[in-house]
Amino acid sequence: MDISKNIKYIGVNDYEIDLFEGQYIVPNGMAYNSYLIIDENVAVFDTVDERFADEWISNIYSELEEKEPDYLIIQHMEPDHSGSIMRFAKEFPNTKIVASSRAFGMMKNFFGTGFEDRQVVVSEGSTLSLGEHELTFIEAPMVHWPEVIMTYEKTEKVLFSADAFGKFGALDADEDWACEARRYYIGIVGKYGMPVQNLLKKAAALDIKTICPLHGPILKDNLGYYIDLYKTWSSYGIESEGIVVAYTSVYGNTKKAVELLAKMLEEKGQKVTINDLARCDMAEAVEDAFRYGKIVFATTTYNGDVFPFMREFINHLTERNFQNRLVAFIENGSWAPMATSIMKKMLENCKNLEYANTSVKIMSALNADNMEQLKILAEELCK
């Protein structure tokens, strides 16, 4: 695939993977992107998961035939991109390897060598001329590992953005960009809002026409749309109006309360998204919590704690710096309900959470008082 006359796509699609990064389901597969700039000197950007090394090397040969690349640029050392470095290094023994000094340290950890005799160490503002194309390296620590560099090519105005602006899904997946880019961003990079903001500030100073990420499609049109979403996500802002209800229910009584609340809210014209935490994709539920501005946590007391799926859900939120939301609780307990106080405690270090005045306490099954509480809570959530 040509990105331009001189910039080629040489990545691979992975339809075999069950869990990306060991935890995220990827029903439409995953793309490990890799690029080639052909000029007087030839540069390859990043490798691919080692299971696809043969396919990737053959992609390089089909573009270059007998010519050996001059530079392999390693922007990120996570194995989905670094897994074929050793294979490449053996295949092309004269190619220089370009990376940050931290990345070379990681190569030593992964492969037992930092390629000392072939390394070109780059840092913020370093440049590398390929002929007509000139590369400038941008440090982007924690987007999403500390060694990350991105690369700006000024002749064609291309930003090689490492994991930033990536998404789940193979390149031929016919699906909404934002849906799978949001799940990817919140899941994988969500904790690192400030480093992403720092990167966006650097990117704002560049004239960018094309973004080449390491996952998902190459972005060429309407770049402001993607950049604005990244601004919202990295600042923990509210992307969409609506209310998320995340719940667990053991015998269906908490579920009944949730459904009733959702009906009341929908009758008032609110958009409501419900996630049954025991059954849904947890990453979707986490994504929703960061997408909308209001959230209701509904769960039972269990073993003197909250129900396990709710504990897991809240842990996912707090470790990703959950903040800036209106929060409400529905709890259920047959003899000593304590779920609400435990959930509040779990959220106590989150910044800028506003708590609804109404909280719903069910003692086993919904009663008339609960119905009234739900009605008042619905009104409060609509304000």
Residues that bind ligand FEO (CB under 6 A): 76, 78, 80-81, 144-145, 163, 214-215
Q: How far is the CB of 189 from ligand FEO (least distance, A)?
A: 8
Lookup: tokens for 165:
């602006």
DSSP letters along 266-301, please?
HHTT--EEEEETTTS-HHHHHHHHHHEEEEEEEEEE
| Closest distance to ligand FEO from the beta carbon of 237 (Å) | 23
- On whether the CB atoms of residues 134 and 153 are closer than 8 A, the answer is yes
- Between 145 and 355, whose beta carbon lies closer to ligand FEO? 145
| Shortest Cβ 14–ligand FEO spacing (Å) | 12
Residue 116: count other Cβ atoms within 10 Å of its Cβ. 9
Q: Are 229 and 178 a contacting pair, CB within 8 Å?
A: yes
φ/ψ region of 245 (left if φ > 0, alpha if ψ in -120 to 50, else beta) reads beta
Nearer to ligand FEO, 140 or 246 (CB): 140
Residue whose Cβ sits closest to ligand FEO: 78
CB of 83 to ligand FEO, least distance (A): 10
Please provide the size of the chain in residues.
Answer: 383
In angstroms, the Cα distances linking 120 to 65, 114, 302 are: 25, 11, 56
CB of 109 to ligand FEO, least distance (A): 16
- Taking the complex as a whole, how short is the minimal distance between the CB of residue 226 and ligand FEO, in angstroms? 17
CA distance 211 to 214: 10
| Residue among 69 and 166 whose Cβ is closer to ligand FEO | 166
Q: How far apart are CA 377 and CA 265, in angstroms?
A: 9
DSSP, residue by residue, 158-227:
EEE-TTTT--SB-TT--S-HHHHHHHHIIIIIGGGHHHHHHHHHHHHTS--SEEE-SSSPPB-S-HHHHH
State the alpha helices, DSSP H only, in the chain: 53-64, 79-82, 85-91, 101-111, 177-184, 193-204, 223-234, 253-267, 282-291, 308-319, 339-346, 368-382
- Could you tell me the smallest distance in angstroms from the CB atom of residue 29 to ligand FEO? 14
Q: Which residues pair with 300 in a beta bridge?
A: 332
Q: Which is nearer to ligand FEO, 8 or 81 (by Cβ)?
A: 81
Q: Rank residues 218 and 264 by Cβ distance to ligand FEO and give the closer one.
A: 218
The residue (of 199 and 258) whose beta carbon lies closer to ligand FEO is 199
Please report how close the Cβ of residue 151 comes to ligand FEO at its closest, in angstroms: 16
Comparing CB distances to ligand FEO, the nearer of 144 and 294 is 144
Q: How far is the CB of 214 from ligand FEO (least distance, A)?
A: 5
Half-sphere exposure of 123 (CA within 13 A, CB side): 2
- Nearer Cβ to ligand FEO, position 226 or 292? 226
Name the residue among 188, 192, 240 with its Cα closest to residue 214: 188
The structure tokens 């793309």 sit at 31
Is the CB of 96 or the CB of 215 nearer to ligand FEO? 215
